[in-house]
Amino acid sequence: MNGVAPPSDFTGLSRRKWYLMAAGWSLLLLVPAVVALTADEPLWLRIVQLLAVLGYAACYVFGLYEGVRRRSRAFTTAVLVVMAALFVVLAGTGTGVYAVAYLVVGVVMLVPGRWGTVGAVAASVGAVVAVWLLTGALVWAEVIGTAAICVAQIGMFGVIRINAQLRAAQAELAELAVTAERERMARDLHDVLGHSLTTITVKAGLARP
């Protein structure tokens, strides 16, 4: 579905508040950024990894907001595919799987209903597999932590969706109430004017010689 709708319909946050909150969470990505800068790797590879970290953070801060706002399937798909690709680059830095939490948030925010849950689980599992294939090792504490983050994000955004639906329903009921009141006032005015005009017509007829 294409269209433009304010993100407050979903998150209840203005652009400024979302940017501040998302930028704050993105500070956790300083860890892979530092690792990329200080790794014993060729300079070009460190630059690529650093750009991947910055791109990943930008997709999280700006891409998710625009995805919610635009409600465009093509844009949503592009943002999530880019984030998944950038995460694979991050996974190669050996900084663990926790960074997939940002991708999980993106999936849950941008993909509605049960498919968002399926996508979040798939992203978490894919992250574990990617880290294992690229580094040859897994820290199970991080795997468990990633699973907990996935469950928490699904639950949190489920509550946000329900609250958004309740706000929309309340707004619709308020609009219907206003419309009904206007129609009632219009009917009352019509009846009063009709009665008054009828009375004037009868009196005018009686006043004729």
Q: Note the pLDDT of residue 92.
A: 74
Q: Note the pLDDT of residue 202.
A: 59
- 182 in a structural domain: no
Residue 195 has pLDDT above 80, yes or no: no
Q: Average model confidence (pLDDT) for the chain?
A: 78
pTM value > 0.85: no
Paired tokens of 142: 């991080």
Q: Note the pLDDT of residue 145.
A: 75
Residue 157 has pLDDT above 90, yes or no: no
- 177 in a structural domain: no
- 1 in a structural domain: no
- Kindly report which listed range (51-55, 125-129, 196-200) carries the lowest average pLDDT score: 196-200
Which structural domain, as residue segments, surrounds residue 81? Answer: 7-163
CA 109, CA 79: separation in Å to the nearest integer?
A: 12
Paired tokens of 54: 């910055």
Contacts of 37 (CB under 8 A, 6+ apart): 46, 50
- 184 in a structural domain: no
Q: Note the pLDDT of residue 147.
A: 77
Across 138-143, average pLDDT: 73
Compute the residue count for the chain. 209
CA 182, CA 179: separation in Å to the nearest integer?
A: 5
- 158 in a structural domain: yes
Q: Note the pLDDT of residue 129.
A: 85
| Overall domain count for the chain | 1
- 46 in a structural domain: yes
What is the per-residue pLDDT across 57-89, written as a single tens digit (0 to 9) for each? 999 999 988 888 888 889 999 999 999 999 988
Q: Note the pLDDT of residue 83.
A: 93
What is the per-residue pLDDT across 113-135, written as a single tens digit (0 to 9) for each? 788 888 888 888 888 888 888 77
CB 45 within 8 A of CB 56: no
- 22 in a structural domain: yes
- Kindly report which listed range (48-57, 60-69, 138-147) carries the lowest average pLDDT score: 138-147
Q: Note the pLDDT of residue 85.
A: 92
- Kindly report which listed range (8-12, 15-19, 22-26) carries the lowest average pLDDT score: 8-12
Across 44-54, average pLDDT: 87
Paired tokens of 177: 């109430």
Percent of all residues in the chain with a pLDDT value above 90, rounded to a whole number: 11
Residue 48 has pLDDT above 80, yes or no: yes
- 180 in a structural domain: no
